[in-house]
């Protein structure tokens, strides 16, 4: 009975968490920018950062559910491309966040996170090049031959830069964010200082809300904080250096495009 109550509380917390992920993703989506003058309808937005972090925490199905809600809300509120925009927005988020979180769910280590981001980036680029070829002529009125000519020089670099920026931001903020949430006991699983994927001793594959070594139903959320404990997390130097290099590379390419 206690285990059923624990799982039910976890499900409620998961739904609430995913609702927050979707809401924050929508708000972030409103603060995008454009960096390819020849294709002003291509806009970078960091909503996939939030969706992927949500997927790392709640799993790939959660990432897809949040991505669907955000794409649907965008279509019903600010989108000028309606169903076409919904399809492309959801497909882009699903390809990036869904693939990244699926791989991370199987390999909950730094290597798994990086592999997830790499394959998520490649998946999103491939999917969006296909959808741009099929759908962009419909809602822009451009000849398909003109769109095909833009696939490699425009759409491919845009999606690779977008994926690179998203990956770098995820690498920078995922660890401190999840550690802070665990310290505040807003996430189930490991004790503070033990975020899955960045340090050993997490709870991959364990029952939701059950701390390793604890009794089912006895603890939901992070372990109780020791008296006088302070929020802290270990910095993985390699991850942060890689993230800053990736950000610098993307910024350099964007600068080159603007000043071409």
Predicted local confidence at residue 105, as pLDDT: 95
| Domains contained in the chain, CATH given | 2-32+42-258 (1.10.1760.20)
Residues of the chain with pLDDT under 50: 190-224, 226-228
Residue 35 is predicted with a pLDDT of: 81
Cross-strand partners of 44 = 33
pTM above 0.85, yes or no: no
Radius of gyration of the chain (CA): 20
Provide the sign of the torsion angle of the four alpha carbons 138, 25, 29, 241, taken in this order: negative
Query: What is the reported pLDDT for 33?
Result: 84
- pLDDT at residue 89, as a whole number: 94
Q: What is the pLDDT at residue 4? A: 64
Model pLDDT for residues 160-191, shown as the tens digit of each residue:
999 999 999 999 999 888 888 887 776 755 44
Could you tell me which of 65, 87, 63 has the C-alpha nearest to residue 74?
Answer: 87
Cα 181 from Cα 222, distance rounded (Å): 9
């Amino acid at each position: 009975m206690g285990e059923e109550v624990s799982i039910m509380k976890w499900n409620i917390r998961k739904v609430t968490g995913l609702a927050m992920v979707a809401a924050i993703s929508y708000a972030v989506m409103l603060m995008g920018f454009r960096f390819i003058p020849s294709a002003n309808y291509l806009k970078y937005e960091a909503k996939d950062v939030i969706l992927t972090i949500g997927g790392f925490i709640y799993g790939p199905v959660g990432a897809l559910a949040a991505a669907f809600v955000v794409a649907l809300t965008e279509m019903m509120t600010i989108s000028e491309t309606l169903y076409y925009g919904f399809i492309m927005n959801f497909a882009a988020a699903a390809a990036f966040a869904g693939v990244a979180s699926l791989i991370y769910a199987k390999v909950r280590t730094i290597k798994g996170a990086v592999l997830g981001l790499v394959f998520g980036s490649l998946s999103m680029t491939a999917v969006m090049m296909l959808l741009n070829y099929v759908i962009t002529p419909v809602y822009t009125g451009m000849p398909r031959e003109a769109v095909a000519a833009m696939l490699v020089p425009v759409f491919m670099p845009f999606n690779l830069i977008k994926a690179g920026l998203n990956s770098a931001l995820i690498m920078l903020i995922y660890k401190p964010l999840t550690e802070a949430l665990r310290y505040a006991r807003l996430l189930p699983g490991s004790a503070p200082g033990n975020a899955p994927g960045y340090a050993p001793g997490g709870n991959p594959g364990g029952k939701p809300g059950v701390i390793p070594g604890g009794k089912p139903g006895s603890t939901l959320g992070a372990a109780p904080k020791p008296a006088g404990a302070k929020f802290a997390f270990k910095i993985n130097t390699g991850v942060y250096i890689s993230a800053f290099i990736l950000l610098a590379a993307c910024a350099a390419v964007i600068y080159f495009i603007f000043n071409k």
